[in-house]
Amino acid sequence: MPRISGPQPSAFGAYVAGAGARDELVVQSRMGFASPEAMRAGLDAVRDAGPRVVGTITLDSFTRTGQFLRAGRAIASGESLNGYPLVSHSASNNSLLLRGLDLDAFPVQIRHGSPEPQEIFRTMLRYGLTVSEGGPVSYCLPYSRVPLRRSIDAWAEGCRILADGAQDAAHLETFGGCMLGQLCPPGLLVALSVLECLFFAENGIRSVSLSYAQQTNPQQDRDAILALRALAGKHLGDLDWHVVLYTFMGVYPKSTEGATALLRESAALAASSGCERLIVKTTVESQRIPTIAENVAALRIAAAAAYGVPRSAHRERSEVLREASALIDATLSLKATVGDSLHEAFRLGILDVPYCLHQDNRNRTRTSIDDDGALRWASRGDMPLPVQSAPDRPGGAADRLLQMLSYNQHRFDAR
């Protein structure tokens, strides 16, 4: 696969890079409200929360699944929705939502979860919105029954729509580093993040961000992010890119103290590993949907926790780097395009997400958490991974799986 050269950073990339030049971590929440008034109130509160923040409009589940008429009926009837139905709102409502916002000074990202994003991207462009996220694998396998081949084709078209309509302003963040939120070993997360960004570039996107979700061992997570940066430098060439960390996405601590400690640990991890952006969780994640004020509080906690944290030294040959490199190289060797290679890799089991029940995922891999809290492979299926030490415990039994899912909750609530 040749190295890719590209243009100067997009407006979003430049905004993030500007914060990095001042050693500031960009922080972002994931709010989504159905009405333009509530959604705008959320954006205004985030904008005023600090100097380096990103706004988010998270879309509702009807829009994610292409049920635009159903979303429209929900708007008309006043039915509660779990996000903002961008495609189904009227032009006047969407204009009201964005009126007076300077999207260069305060970028706003559309988050959606759709395996078929074309209409979402077309609607975004009508209102000057050019930053989104997802991917043909990461928004297909965990969340839908759409065949992987169909999602790959839809995302290829969606990338071209966004690239043609936004030109150099288009930016996509891969969700590949967040597959299923937890219990996916870092080597696979890093590989999927790089592969989806290569797919974006293949289809015209020149500004990307690579994601990684905090897992269960800080040193392993740090190695994973450093590996992700190294592989992005190798494979993405001069493409405009940065790394975004997600605060732990699994079963969250129940106590306020535990949840706050987990958020602070993620912010310190982001800063020490060189991440440019952090997507936060609030202290009430285990209880209910957070309010605007609770989202703003999480942004401020994270920014304060990241301030002054020293950068870690780079490790060239971590286990995560070896695993991710093997998976990327094996996948890219299969076909002429990244899209076809991804499809073939899942068909052959070269890529295989543990505990993922989608029909195009083999689901032959399993994981285990060792005594240090690090995620290891208990069963590798057909993935061409380097030899590693055996896990301390087998993976997959129902009681053991529940223990692993609750690992971080127990670890932080015990504090």
Report pLDDT digits (tens) over 300-315: 999 999 998 888 766 6
The predicted structure's pLDDT at residue 5: 44
Average pLDDT over residues 350-366: 96
| Band (333; pLDDT cuts 50, 70, 90) | very high
| Band (128; pLDDT cuts 50, 70, 90) | very high
Average pLDDT over residues 288-299: 93
The predicted structure's pLDDT at residue 313: 67
Spatial contact of 264 and 258, defined as CB atoms under 8 Å apart: no
What is the residue extent of each domain of the chain? 11-306
pLDDT tens digits for 140-176?
Answer: 999 899 999 999 999 999 999 999 999 899 999 999 9
Which span out of 48-52, 77-81, 204-208, 255-259 was modeled with the highest average pLDDT? 204-208
Task: Please state whether the predicted TM-score (pTM) of the whole model is above 0.85.
Answer: yes
The predicted structure's pLDDT at residue 289: 86
Measure the CA–CA gap between 59 and 31, rounded to whole angstroms: 9
Task: Say yes or no to pLDDT of 182 above 90.
Answer: no
Task: Say yes or no to pLDDT of 395 above 70.
Answer: no
pLDDT tens digits for 18-60?
Answer: 887 788 999 999 999 999 999 999 999 999 998 899 999 999 9
The predicted structure's pLDDT at residue 19: 85
The predicted structure's pLDDT at residue 399: 64
Spatial contact of 175 and 155, defined as CB atoms under 8 Å apart: no
The predicted structure's pLDDT at residue 4: 41
Task: Say yes or no to pLDDT of 392 above 70.
Answer: no
pLDDT tens digits for 277-292?
Answer: 999 999 888 888 899 9
Q: Regarding predicted confidence, which is higher, 412 or 26?
A: 26
The predicted structure's pLDDT at residue 280: 96
What are all long-range contacts of 139-143, with beta carbons under 8 Å and residues at least 24 apart? 139/112, 139/113, 139/114, 139/115, 139/175, 140/115, 140/358, 140/360, 141/179, 141/353, 141/356, 141/358, 141/360, 141/361, 142/179, 142/180, 142/353, 142/356, 142/358, 143/64, 143/113, 143/115
Integer angstrom CA distances of residue 160 from 27, 115, 170, 171, 238: 28, 15, 10, 12, 20
| Band (8; pLDDT cuts 50, 70, 90) | low
The predicted structure's pLDDT at residue 310: 87
The predicted structure's pLDDT at residue 222: 95
Average pLDDT over residues 367-389: 89
Task: Say yes or no to pLDDT of 9 above 60.
Answer: yes
The predicted structure's pLDDT at residue 237: 85
When the pLDDT of each residue in the chain is averaged and rounded to a whole number, the result is 92
Task: Say yes or no to pLDDT of 406 above 90.
Answer: no
Please state which of the ranges 31-35, 127-131, 169-173, 395-399 shows the lowest mean pLDDT.
Answer: 395-399
Task: Say yes or no to pLDDT of 367 above 60.
Answer: yes
Q: Regarding predicted confidence, which is higher, 14 or 50?
A: 14
Task: Say yes or no to pLDDT of 396 above 60.
Answer: no
Span 11-306 CATH architecture: Alpha-Beta Barrel (3.20)
Residue 25 CB coordination number (10 Å): 23
The predicted structure's pLDDT at residue 393: 52
Please state which of the ranges 46-60, 234-248, 337-351, 380-394 shows the lowest mean pLDDT.
Answer: 380-394
